[in-house]
Amino acid sequence: MDSLTGLAWTNRFADLGPDFFTELPAEGLPDPHWVAQSPDCAQLLGLPADWTLQPTALPAMSGNAPWPGMRPLASVYSGHQFGVWAGQLGDGRALWLGEVDTPTGPQELQLKGAGLTPYSRRGDGRAVLRSSIREFLCSEAMAALGVPTTRALCITGSRLPVIRETVETAAVVTRVAPSFIRFGHFEHFAHHDRPDALRRLVNWFIAHHAPECADEPEPVVALLRKVSLQTADLIAHWQAIGFCHGVMNTDNMSMLGLTLDYGPFGFMDGFDPSHVCNHSDDRGRYAYARQPAVAFWNLHALAQALLPLMPIATEKDAEASGERLLEAVEAYRERFAGQMLARLRAKLGLVGEDADDQALADDFLKLMAASRADFTQSFRRLSRAQSSPEPLRDLFVDREALDAWLLRWRARAAPDAQARMLAANPAVVLRNHLAEGAIRAAQRGDFTEIARLLKVLGRPFDEPEQAGDAALPPDWASSLEVSCSS
């Protein structure tokens, strides 16, 4: 026994009852070992600094022995994958452990990769070390960048072989979020014609995660509007840092507007608006430039799922209800445009608002795209371009065009913008090759690079000690491929 066994588990999701999940124990990793842990995430949960040294920590996080008060379960959801209705999905390899009271409010814990569930379909319920490291590092990197995201507490590993394109080894990531509920949870009960269960889920979600909506004349509409606005904020964040999610299916869309389900994600190196980070996305549905429109499409799927809860008895009622839901989703557009422009202004060091700001930003992005200039480095070097423009110019092919743009920018940017721009334009993001370095070392049994990168990614706006962490990708990085297989 140790202090971890005394945590206070509230487990409110479990109150929903068996229509929403199946309770089952985790299938633990055999002979597990620690791979990584996030001190920041542990602190968020109020865990003691030495929590991984406590005897019940490794058994709990590897799925072998839950702490008292945990209530492991897998939830059911459905969703649209690549724009097509995919039917029932669910936590196929994620296991909800429970919800714990923390100094900053309740947080749910999930194990990813802890064995088969009734929703595993053709999968094996496992996650490989490679993808677990990517999810762990990116969750914590996004949090440090200020992007809404699920968090990652730790990774445990094992020698258990797992077959993907090659034979890899199994790992378990512990994820943390106030709620893991997805658009797909609501779509599930709408599609299966269960308005009673759908109503229960909506009421539960509003009560616990959107209480202000309960006081609105139409709580369902208010909820949809809230989710639409939060999603707009999230996507503006992604676009502003060159993040591509890779699999924006409705079952991967968080009702809290969090970045959720890290799989074949990627940060862009050379800027290409049509960049597709997921090798399995052969039609480019989830290309960088399409993410804002895809999120809007996904919100329409959520609106459709909520329609049965609105007055629909007569044709006139149904039409009016549909209109009100659509109006709630429409709020996304203006919010996204406003947030995107605000983020671009911050990235360009523009104080106040000028009618030409959007054009100024768009023109810089066009120049970046024409030169395939590195996304992160372009903005980082621009931050210092008032005093030293040469490093920025080095990234561009058409330097005359860049110089012309810089003249316009200098006339508009605040003269003392550098410090603020450096705080808005990260030096370090989790480029594929950085993750790959940590993965290759870990596959050899050396986990120190994960811990080192975690630290560097935790201060993304500082110049890293090792210049390579912020540098342009090496040549071999262009051959890296990430796909849905994880």
Q: Would you tell me which residues interact with ligand AMP (CB under 6 A)?
A: 89-94, 119-120, 123-126, 247, 251-252, 261, 263, 484
Alpha-carbon gap, residue 486 to 477, rounded angstroms: 19
Binding-site partner at residue 484 among ligand AMP, Mg ion, none, CB < 5 to 8 Å by type: ligand AMP
DSSP letter string, 401-447: HHHHHHHHHHHHS-TT-HHHHHTTS-S----HHHHHHHHHHHHTT--
Q: Which residue, 356, 357, 375, 377, is CA-closest to 365?
A: 375
* Closer to Mg ion by Cβ: residue 261 or 449: 261
Binding-site partner at residue 168 among ligand AMP, Mg ion, none, CB < 5 to 8 Å by type: none
In which residue are the tokens 């072989």 written? 161
Q: For residue 255, what are the contacts with CB-CB under 8 A and spacing of at least 6?
A: 179, 181, 182, 183, 185, 186, 205, 209, 227
Cβ at position 458, least distance to ligand AMP in Å: 26
* Closer to Mg ion by Cβ: residue 150 or 252: 252
* Closer to Mg ion by Cβ: residue 125 or 219: 125
Binding-site partner at residue 5 among Mg ion, ligand AMP, none, CB < 5 to 8 Å by type: none
Tokens encoding 355: 């009618």
Binding-site partner at residue 32 among ligand AMP, Mg ion, none, CB < 5 to 8 Å by type: none
Q: Are 241 and 429 in contact (CB under 8 A)?
A: yes
Cβ at position 238, least distance to ligand AMP in Å: 17
Q: Is 449 in the site for Mg ion (CB under 5 A)?
A: no
Q: Is 91 in the site for Mg ion (CB under 5 A)?
A: no
Element (H, E) at 345: helix 315-348
Q: Is 131 in the site for Mg ion (CB under 5 A)?
A: no
The pairing of beta strand 107-112 with beta strand 167-177: antiparallel
Residues involved in catalysis: 251
12 exposed, middle or buried (CB, 10 Å; 0-12, 13-18, 19+)?
middle
* Closer to Mg ion by Cβ: residue 68 or 123: 123
Q: For residue 257, what are the contacts with CB-CB under 8 A and spacing of at least 6?
A: 148, 227, 230, 231, 233, 234
Binding-site partner at residue 263 among ligand AMP, Mg ion, none, CB < 5 to 8 Å by type: ligand AMP
Cβ at position 249, least distance to Mg ion in Å: 7
Alpha-carbon gap, residue 266 to 470, rounded angstroms: 15
Cβ at position 384, least distance to ligand AMP in Å: 39
Binding-site partner at residue 90 among ligand AMP, Mg ion, none, CB < 5 to 8 Å by type: ligand AMP
Strand, helix or coil for residue 392: helix
Residues of span 236-265 touching Mg ion by CB under 5 A: 252, 261
Q: Are 164 and 485 in contact (CB under 8 A)?
A: yes
* Closer to ligand AMP by Cβ: residue 233 or 251: 251
347 exposed, middle or buried (CB, 10 Å; 0-12, 13-18, 19+)?
buried
Cβ at position 63, least distance to ligand AMP in Å: 14
* Closer to Mg ion by Cβ: residue 51 or 265: 265
Cβ at position 32, least distance to Mg ion in Å: 24
Instruction: By CB under 5 A, name the binding residues for Mg ion.
Output: 252, 261
